[in-house]
């Protein structure tokens, strides 16, 4: 069984397992707007495979992380729409 | 004398040529602008777009201050895509010696009526928390600003056109003659006066002018809002800009309206290739990280190069070219052409119309005998 723990998405705890991506955690939290375009339009994950860059979020303080390419880890702090 | 189509034909639609076109058209002159490529496609589009007062020499100070005040008057009219941001400049001092230079700079500015504020180490960190610890202080020049220069050049051309100026694009000038200019299709555009505002290309059309290419590199990052709030330049920048050695780098970063960070700067003489030079880029980024350690965690999305039109005494060439009655120059602006485009345009128009300028023009005349540049 993959290890289970929780991460935070915009400050709220979300239960995940270690085989899940940060994107999965974000979607589980009910959040679909991951970032804003330069003109302020909402953006969300499109390709899910690291190509489109639309799923970028702030993870542990680091901006522009592609959430579809990063697995959840303990104590991970995820912020969307920064 | 046969009537000619234009009073003045301007070669080059970089920001300098564009500003000159607007100023001349505003004076009621019949203006043609000839551009070989696109508006602002040379140094205008490659540079940072920093509107800055510089005090390398009295003449440089006079022209940059005059020009910055012209930009400030223009702000209400600038279109949104010019992205004018009055973020100010902070000249960063890394040691006591540079802090001494900060105080001298402050006094120099104060005496001449330009406001500037000395920051101690604590005030510097409060203003820019991402700067490393251990920096000694800085000088904040709050009225400096940044723009997106290619859009400013386009705006100037549009204004000139609304005053009757005509834009020939893309057209390549092969020769400046007594008649006007000859294009590469053999046709002649007749004009009473010709202005060579072709930047790094200007010596090709006017052999003998002392303009050399000086290559620069820039990097732009993803959007990181508030990572820096001012244009940050190391005091040692002057050492880099000044030295006539073949290559140097200096810490010079700029916040864009989008939240992106523009990272510079480098200077290289005697390089023709437009390729990004990995070793220069590395040195430049290491220099940036020395002042802003967090730079190492930012994602860069693009790097590119450009060429400044450099003169031996760091001052532009504005005015009649000796021995050629119908030819005027507006070139050689090195890294300050965005700032000084507006002042240049005024000085040039004044000369074409034979009237006095608001600042002394002697130091910029192509016929000048260069003073030795003080270090």
The pLDDT of residue B236 = 83
Q: Cβ of B222 and A38 within 8 Å?
A: no
B299 touches chain A (CB under 8 A): yes
Please name the residue of chain A whose CA is at the shortest distance from the CA of residue B225.
A82
Q: Cβ of A38 and B223 within 8 Å?
A: yes
The total of other beta-carbon atoms located within 10 Å of residue B102's CB is 21
C-alpha closest to that of B273 among B305, B309, B241, B240: B305
Give the contacts of B239 (CB within 8 A, at least 6 positions apart).
B248, B250
Q: Cβ of B223 and A62 within 8 Å?
A: no
Q: What share of chain B is helix, strand, coil (3-state, %, to 5)?
A: 35, 30, 35
Domains B6-49+149-210+313-364 and B87-143+211-310 share a fold: no
Quick check: helix, strand or coil at residue B71? helix
Give the gap in angstroms from C-alpha B262 to the nearest C-alpha of chain A: 16
Predicted ipTM beyond 0.90 = no
**Across the A/B interface, how many CB contacts are shorter than 8 Å?**
11
pLDDT by residue for chain B (375 residues), tens digit each?
A: 446 799 999 999 999 999 999 999 999 999 999 999 999 999 999 999 999 999 999 999 999 999 999 999 999 999 999 999 999 999 999 999 999 999 999 999 999 999 999 999 999 999 999 999 999 999 999 999 999 999 999 999 999 999 999 999 999 999 999 999 999 999 999 999 999 999 999 999 999 999 999 999 999 999 999 999 999 999 987 666 666 667 899 999 999 999 999 999 999 999 999 999 999 999 999 999 999 999 999 999 999 999 999 999 999 999 999 888 899 999 999 999 999 999 999 999 999 999 999 999 999 999 997 655 444
Residue in A64, A65, A81 to test binding to B, most B beta-carbons within 10 Å: A64
Q: What share of chain A is helix, strand, coil (3-state, %, to 5)?
A: 10, 35, 50
Nearest by CB: B258 against A38, A63, A64: A38
Q: Cβ of B222 and A62 within 8 Å?
A: no
Do the beta carbons of residue B199 and residue B23 sit within 8 Å? no
Do the beta carbons of residue B181 and residue B194 sit within 8 Å? yes
Between helix B15-26 and helix B149-162 the angle, nearest 10°, is 20
Please name the residue of chain A whose CA is at the shortest distance from the CA of residue B226.
A82
Percent of chain A with pLDDT over 70: 99
B257 touches chain A (CB under 8 A): no
A38 touches chain B (CB under 8 A): yes
Give the gap in angstroms from C-alpha A77 to the nearest C-alpha of chain B: 17
A36 touches chain B (CB under 8 A): no
The pLDDT of residue B373 = 47
The pLDDT of residue B216 = 98
Cβ contacts of B298 on chain A, cutoff 8 Å: 63
Give the gap in angstroms from C-alpha A37 to the nearest C-alpha of chain B: 10
pLDDT (tens digit, 9 = 90+) per residue, A41-69?
999 999 999 999 999 999 999 999 999 99
Q: Cβ of B222 and A63 within 8 Å?
A: yes
CATH architecture for residues B6-49+149-210+313-364: 3-Layer(bba) Sandwich (3.50)
Q: Which token pair is B181?
A: 């200019």
Cβ contacts of A62 on chain B, cutoff 8 Å: 297
Cβ contacts of B226 on chain A, cutoff 8 Å: none
CATH of domain A4-79: 3.10.20.440
Please name the residue of chain A whose CA is at the shortest distance from the CA of residue B298.
A63
Task: Round to whole Å and give the CA distance between B16 and B341.
Answer: 5
Q: Where are the domains of chain B?
A: 6-49+149-210+313-364, 87-143+211-310
Q: Cβ of A63 and B258 within 8 Å?
A: no
pTM higher than the cut 0.90: yes
Give the gap in angstroms from C-alpha A39 to the nearest C-alpha of chain B: 9
Q: Could you tell me the fold of the domain covering B87-143+211-310?
A: D-Amino Acid Oxidase; Chain A, domain 2 (3.30.9)
């Amino acid at each position: 069984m993959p290890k289970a723990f929780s991460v935070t998405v915009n400050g709220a705890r979300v239960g995940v397992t270690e085989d899940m991506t940060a994107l999965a955690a974000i979607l589980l939290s009910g959040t679909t707007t991951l970032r804003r375009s330069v003109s302020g339009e909402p953006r969300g994950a499109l390709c899910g495979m690291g190509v489109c860059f639309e799923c970028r979020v702030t993870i542990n303080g680091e901006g522009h992380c592609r959430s579809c390419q990063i697995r959840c880890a303990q104590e991970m702090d995820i912020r969307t729409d920064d | 004398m046969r009537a000619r189509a234009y009073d003045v034909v301007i070669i080059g639609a970089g920001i300098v040529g564009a500003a000159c076109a607007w100023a001349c058209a505003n004076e009621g002159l019949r203006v043609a602008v000839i551009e070989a490529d696109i508006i602002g496609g040379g140094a205008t589009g490659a540079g940072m777009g920093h509107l800055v007062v510089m005090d390398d020499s009295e003449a440089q100070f006079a022209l940059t201050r005059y020009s910055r005040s012209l930009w400030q008057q223009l702000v209400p009219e600038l279109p949104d895509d010019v992205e004018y941001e009055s973020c100010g400049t902070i000249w960063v001092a890394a040691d006591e010696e540079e802090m001494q230079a900060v105080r001298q700079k402050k006094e120099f500015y104060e005496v001449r009526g330009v406001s500037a504020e000395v920051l101690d180490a604590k005030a510097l960190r409060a203003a820019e928390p991402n700067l490393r610890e251990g920096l000694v202080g800085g000088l904040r020049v709050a009225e400096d600003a940044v723009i997106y220069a290619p859009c400013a050049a386009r705006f100037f051309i549009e204004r000139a056109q609304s005053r009757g100026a005509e834009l020939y694009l893309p057209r390549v000038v092969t020769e400046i003659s007594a008649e006007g200019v000859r294009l590469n299709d053999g046709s002649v555009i007749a004009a009473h006066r010709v202005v060579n505002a072709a930047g790094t290309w200007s010596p090709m059309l006017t052999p003998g002018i002392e303009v050399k290419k000086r290559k620069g590199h820039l990097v732009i990052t993803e959007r990181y809002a508030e990572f820096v709030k001012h244009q940050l330049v190391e005091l040692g920048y002057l050492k880099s800009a000044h030295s006539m050695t073949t290559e140097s780098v200096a810490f010079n970063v700029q916040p864009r309206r989008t939240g992106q960070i523009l990272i510079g700067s480098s200077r290289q003489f005697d390089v023709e290739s437009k390729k990004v030079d990995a070793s220069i880029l590395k040195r430049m980024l290491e220099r940036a990280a020395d002042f802003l350690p967090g730079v190492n965690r930012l994602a860069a999305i693009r790097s590119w190069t450009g060429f400044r039109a450099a003169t031996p005494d760091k001052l532009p060439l504005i005015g009649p070219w000796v021995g050629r009655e119908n030819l005027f120059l507006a070139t050689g602006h090195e890294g300050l052409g965005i700032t000084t485009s507006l002042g240049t345009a005024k000085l040039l128009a004044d000369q074409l119309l034979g009237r006095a300028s608001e600042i002394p023009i002697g130091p910029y005349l192509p016929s000048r005998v260069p003073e030795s540049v003080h270090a």
